[in-house]
């Protein structure tokens, strides 16, 4: 049942990505991020069907690559959605590049995966996590601050609400891992609503 829910979530994330793409140039990066998040949900959803083995493990490596490179992209995605100026957009890109380098260095070298089951899901997770996910947490904190500025100055709350959803879902994901995917979907929805509200 959870696997089916994740498959449905992946479809919704693809639809959100298509909607972001249709908003034009400022939404293209959010569309790319949406596809990356959909990939993550789809791989976990497929685990039950694929079973343990090389195929699911290789696809799961892609999940870690997506998170290392994709999570910091929320910063320029938010700056573009908010129609911020060149200086602010450049700062968002600089932050994304720094956090991507940090995330890649902390996550990908020496990555060892092991299979884990939760409810009816099967996924491959890092057998030896590298400690506190500094890059990912920093990206979401900065996203929340960007969203808070937009909320207070322009009454556009969706990015801040999406960032809060990721925090809440990530905390709950220790007990129920698929909630992390739900939080990411809500964050994507916040970016899309902001794009449409621009």
pLDDT at 194 over 70: yes
- State the residue for tokens 């129920």: 176
Residue with tokens 């990206």: 139
pLDDT tens digits, residue range 76-111? 999 999 999 999 999 999 999 999 999 999 888 889
Q: Which two tokens stand for residue 20?
A: 């972001």
Question: Which residues make Cβ contacts (< 8 Å) with residue 54, sequence separation at least 6?
Answer: none
Q: What is the 3-state secondary structure (H, E, C) of 57-109?
A: HHHHHHHHHHHHHHHHHHHHHHHHHCCCCHHHHHHHHHHHHHHHHHHHHHHCC
User: Where are the strands (E) in the chain, listed by range?
Assistant: 113-118, 121-126
Helix (H/G/I), strand (E/B), else coil: 173: coil
What pLDDT score was predicted for residue 192?
Answer: 96
pLDDT at residue 60 in the model: 96
Which pair of tokens denotes residue 57? 């493990």
State how many domains the chain has: 1
Rounded distance between C-alpha atoms, residue 92 and residue 112, angstroms: 31
Q: How far apart are CA 142 and CA 104, in angstroms?
A: 18
Confidence band, pLDDT 50/70/90 cuts, at residue 129: confident
Q: Report the chain's mean pLDDT, rounded to a whole number.
A: 94
Model confidence at 130: pLDDT above 70: no
Instruction: State which residues form the domain around 164.
Output: 2-197
Bridge-based pairing state of the strands 113-118 and 121-126: antiparallel
pTM to 2 decimal places: 0.93
Instruction: Indicate whether 133 pLDDT > 80.
Output: yes
Mapped onto helix, strand or coil, the DSSP state of residue 119 is: coil
Task: Report percent pLDDT > 70 for the chain.
Answer: 98
The pLDDT score that the predictor gives to residue 132 is 80
pLDDT at 127: 86
């Amino acid at each position: 049942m959870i696997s089916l829910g994740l498959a449905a979530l992946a479809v919704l994330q693809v639809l959100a990505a298509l909607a972001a793409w249709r908003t034009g140039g400022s939404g293209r990066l959010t569309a790319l991020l949406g596809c990356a998040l959909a990939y993550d949900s789809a791989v976990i959803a497929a685990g039950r069907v694929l079973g343990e083995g090389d195929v699911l493990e290789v696809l799961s490596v892609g999940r870690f690559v997506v998170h290392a490179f994709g999570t910091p992209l929320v910063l320029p995605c938010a700056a573009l959605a908010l129609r911020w100026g060149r200086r602010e957009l450049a700062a968002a890109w600089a932050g994304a590049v720094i956090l991507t380098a940090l995330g890649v260095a902390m996550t990908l070298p020496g990555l060892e995966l092991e299979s884990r089951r939760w409810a009816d899901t099967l996924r491959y997770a890092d057998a030896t996590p590298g400690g506190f996910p500094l890059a990912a947490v920093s990206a979401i904190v900065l996203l929340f601050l960007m969203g808070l500025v937009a909320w207070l100055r322009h009454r556009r709350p969706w990015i801040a609400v999406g960032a809060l959803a990721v925090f809440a879902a990530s905390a709950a994901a220790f007990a129920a891992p698929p909630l992390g995917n739900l939080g990411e979907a809500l964050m994507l929805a916040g970016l899309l609503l902001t794009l449409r509200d621009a």
